[in-house]
Structure 1
Amino acid sequence: MKDEDSRYEAVRSRDARFDGEFFFAVETTGVYCRPSCPAVTPKRHNVRFFPTAAAAQGSGFRACRRCRPDAVPGSAAWDVRADVAGRAMRLIGDGIVDREGVAGLAARLGYSARQVQRQLTAELGAGPVALARAQRAHTARVLLQTTGLPITQVAFAAGFASVRQFNDTIRAVYARTPTELRADAPRAGRPAGRTAAPSAGIPLRLAHRGPYHATTVFDLLAEEAVPGVEEVTGPPGDRLYRRTLRLPHGSAVAAVAERAPASGRGGATHPGGWLDARLHLTDLRDLTTAVQRLRRLFDLDADPYAVDARLGADPRLAPLVAARPGLRSPGAADPGELAVRALAGPGRAAELVRRYGKTLDAPSGGLTHLFPEPAVLAGAEPGGALGALTTALADGALRMDAGADRDEAYRALRDLPGLDARTAAVIRTRALADPDVAPPGAELPDTWRPWRSYALRHLRAAGEPDPR
């Protein structure tokens, strides 16, 4: 959708497939929207297109109140792309600019701050500060409309440096004061009182693009669940996945529902919309980071239309794609944890949690621990393949954060003693969220590129062995 005439046709047809892939703004109203906005289609000569919400905001447009363009799924490009822009967008989503500034972002990418600013502005229409600002505004809206926190606490929890900066940003982005924005919340989502957030958690809608085959994702999570850190409860079609999260400022307990919210009933495939979730955070500054890590775990920013179109054209995969539209390739909420689990296996991982995991201040159902940090494991069990892996993670020789270079990380994995090629491929697929990984030694059709990870997920969901 690179040419503007094609984008305008998507706007005219209110095509939700492109929500998050681009935004359009209307010069006569000063509002920017997602492509599927239900409002009357503006005339072509009044429309401008932007690659990001931050670019639209930087040009003086405010968010539409009807379609809430800040709540769309993320662009699938940032999950797929391995270049600087893709890595930068994943890091910004993880909150790096808020925590470490532009200098910290640039250092992680291996470029100067000026180079990062220039490249992101040229490609995305906004630099890292503007992109982080747009993200803070969205976080603030969620907190204002789903919790009873005092507005001052919302400002700092969302990552703003001052209440004045917070007020100015909310007015610029939403054309509302924070108090007015809170009053605009749907009645069902309004907080019951000022103390609602700590006890009830923060309800969230984790948006996804197109169909979402929830059954396969929840089946995998149930199969892999490590006791104390994760649990899956309820019958198939109506399951609840819960897990603990270690975050930059504290910890969290996250819950995500399998049930399709649009129908109110369980089902294999969500036709489009969102997953219902709830977060209990010890520090509200971690909200954005926690949301992004859940999005990566559940592969919510994927483009199922592109994946299904490519794989569905293959005779072997066509019936599998038809049986499971919108199948996802789950990632990881914590890449380092996933790497340790892939190497150790489920039984050993559970033992590591019991022996070295940090105990929660108060158990939450079956959740009792945080998964042990690499530095703790490296100090407790320094020998063998596990010791080599955790030491590399702890000292930074192996980087697998949201902005890691996949090729560099994979080479570092392969250099570790005792870590075989198949385990490294699993880690690359899950921890590094690479959509195009083949099993070692397997010759897969080129027509499956760049979605070989999804092709393998289809084969496994159908009970077929991996190609060799």
Structure 2
Amino acid sequence: MVTTDDSRYEAVCSRDARFDGEFFFAVSTTGIYCRPSCPATTPKRHNVCFFPTAAAAQGSGFRACRRCRPDAVPGSAEWNARADMVGRAMRLIGDGVVDREGVAGLAARLGYSARQVQRQLNAEVGAGPIALARAQRAHTARILLQTTTMQAAEIAFAAGFASVRQFNDTLREIYAATPSELRAAKPGRSSRYGVVGTANGAAGVPLRLAYRRPYAAAEVFDYLAARTITGIEELVGKRGARLYRRTLRLPHGTGIAEVSEKLGAGGWLECNLHLSDLRDLTTAAQRMRRLFDLDADPYAVAERLGADAALAPLVAPRPGLRAPGTADAHELAVRAVLGQQVSVAAGQRLGSALVAAYGQPLAAPSGALTHVFPTADALAGSSLSELGMPGSRRDTLRTVTGALADGTVCLDPGADRDEAEKTLLGLRGIGPWTAGYIRMRALGDPDVLLTGDVAIQSGMRHAGAEAVDAEGWRPWRTYAMHHFWNTAADRRRAAPA
């Protein structure tokens, strides 16, 4: 943990990649800002200042380093862990709410005035919502310039800019380059990180989704593989080289995301997005980041959980274990209800039947992907008779989807987690396990412990953690749960032998 400018400077001197995205440093003599691990010559201490976000550095007049690409770093894990207004606002801005609804829309979702939101963000992250959204738009524009052959004017509006002039001015200010110069830029030997994505002749928009190393990719893909729903998800290839594919319902249309299990040498997951409307690029990329838990801080998690005697033997062999989130919060809530009191495989079968009966067909199927998950509106008024499950659970599913459709339950990235869980528990048929599971995955809470889960109980017994005070695992109890789940899975696999 770095808490002072001197400790931040030490991280810069050691080029410590653990802090990429946690803070940025700028050099007064060059007018450039960088990530902590920038390979350039370390500047003198008196020429360096620090910023909590890239937008804050840009707002102070600094340009992005062309060598380390500070705009292409993982997000700060702080925004996922924090449940206050600033943390909620940062998650909403990342999802593109400011571009779609403006600052007024952001403030309305948070339940504060636009002035309060502006003041709080400026005080804590050094930039207001417009500046933060602007930095995100510039990053999206650079991706499109360097990975597609679209005209600059098309890119301007796809990235969320209001005009071509605003697009040009922003890129000159942030990157000190015109759109044509950015498009012509190549990784070269002088660039440690290169461009965010390279087309390689593939259709769609290729991205590199950065994460903090280590990253336990096999466990994440195993988790998703056990829960794939026919029609909206598939995994192809062998373990270690699998490709996860899924459909997406996005604000302006639909899409298909493809993510490779093979880890990039620079610390990224290769992702390809096929979108019906490129205005959804930022939102789609952010949702895949949440699904694969790419903004987590594995060092902070390991430090806290590894200090516990019961958890230490589980943490050591799985460095960088992640807690998968979701690409669609409403979908996850439905799947949580389908999974009540049944096995993972049974929940998977119910989900597949639901998609076959009520899913929205794609205009053109892609491999095994044929549908987009049904909306809450479509399910709220349906009989659900096609699903082989008790009538009481069908009633619960209609109740939950009705609450999602009319806004009684809010599961957007900036939702108040405590309020959402309380509202869910007030719905007939929703108990602590379902509400906690939705809170963990749909709302990305890193501090959930489902003590009523049978597999968790088994994992805790095996680790000797039943009598341990779990309060010491805060704020990373969700990751402790995933260690227990993996331990239980290991024991099941070893049982036949």
Matched, 1:289 2:292: no
* Matched AA of 1:287: L
User: Which stretch shifts more, 119-128 or 346-355?
Assistant: 346-355
**Cα distance between partner residues in 1 of 2:475 and 2:363:** 44
The CA deviation at 1:316 is 1.5
**Cα distance between partner residues in 2 of 1:381 and 1:21:** 48
Residue of structure 2 equivalent to 1:449: 474
Of 423, 427, 430, 1:419 maps to 430
**Cα distance between partner residues in 2 of 1:355 and 1:439:** 31
Q: CA contact under 8 A between 2:199 and 2:205: conserved in structure 1?
A: no
The CA deviation at 1:380 is 1.5
* Matched AA of 1:80: A
Matched, 1:406 2:406: no
Q: TM-score, normalised by structure 1?
A: 0.94
* Matched AA of 1:290: A
SS at match of 1:200: coil
Of 328, 331, 355, 1:334 maps to 328
* Matched AA of 2:279: R
The CA deviation at 1:347 is 2.0
Deviations 1:335-359 (A, max 9, x none): 1100101111322221111111100
Matched, 1:228 2:231: yes
* Matched AA of 1:361: A
Of 351, 365, 369, 1:367 maps to 369
**Cα distance between partner residues in 1 of 2:352 and 2:69:** 42
Residue of structure 2 equivalent to 1:385: 396
SS at match of 2:381: helix
SS at match of 1:232: strand
Aligned-residue CA RMSD in angstroms?
Answer: 1.7
Deviations 1:126-158 (A, max 9, x none): 000000000000000000001111111110000
Matches for 1:168-247 after TM superposition, within 5 Å: 168-186=169-187, 200-247=203-250
Of 474, 486, 489, 1:461 maps to 486
**Cα distance between partner residues in 2 of 1:386 and 1:368:** 23
* Matched AA of 2:450: P
**Cα distance between partner residues in 2 of 1:64 and 1:415:** 50
The CA deviation at 1:447 is 1.6
Indicate how the Cα distance of structure 1 residues 278 and 315 shifts in structure 2: closer, same or farther if over 3 A, else same.
Answer: same
Indicate how the Cα distance of structure 1 residues 337 and 191 shifts in structure 2: closer, same or farther if over 3 A, else same.
Answer: closer
Q: CA contact under 8 A between 1:374 and 1:391: conserved in structure 2?
A: yes
Matches for 1:307-322 after TM superposition, within 5 Å: 307-322=301-316
Of 261, 272, 280, 1:278 maps to 272
The CA deviation at 1:186 is 3.1
Residue of structure 2 equivalent to 1:298: 292
SS at match of 1:463: helix
Q: CA contact under 8 A between 2:293 and 2:324: conserved in structure 1?
A: yes
Q: CA contact under 8 A between 2:199 and 2:206: conserved in structure 1?
A: no
Matches for 1:69-218 after TM superposition, within 5 Å: 69-186=70-187, 200-218=203-221
Deviations 1:270-328 (A, max 9, x none): xx701011000000000000000000000000000000111111121112111100000
SS at match of 1:380: coil
* Matched AA of 2:413: A
SS at match of 1:220: helix
Residue of structure 2 equivalent to 1:268: none
User: Which stretch shifts more, 199-208 or 240-249?
Assistant: 199-208
The CA deviation at 1:190 is 5.7
* Matched AA of 2:105: G
Deviations 1:75-115 (A, max 9, x none): 00011110000000000000000000000000000000000
SS at match of 1:280: strand
Q: CA contact under 8 A between 1:299 and 1:328: conserved in structure 2?
A: yes
Residue of structure 2 equivalent to 1:55: 56
Equivalenced residue count is 452
Residue of structure 2 equivalent to 1:436: 447
SS at match of 2:102: helix
Q: CA contact under 8 A between 1:30 and 1:62: conserved in structure 2?
A: yes
SS at match of 1:66: coil
Unmatched runs of 5 consecutive residues or more in structure 1: 263-271
**Cα distance between partner residues in 2 of 1:304 and 1:387:** 38
The CA deviation at 1:465 is 11
**Cα distance between partner residues in 2 of 1:162 and 1:29:** 30
Query: Identity, % of aligned pairs?
Result: 67
**Cα distance between partner residues in 1 of 2:448 and 2:489:** 17
Deviations 1:165-194 (A, max 9, x none): 0000000000000000110133796658xx
Of 257, 262, 269, 2:260 maps to 257
The CA deviation at 1:432 is 1.1
The CA deviation at 1:55 is 0.4
**Cα distance between partner residues in 1 of 2:446 and 2:20:** 20
SS at match of 1:244: strand
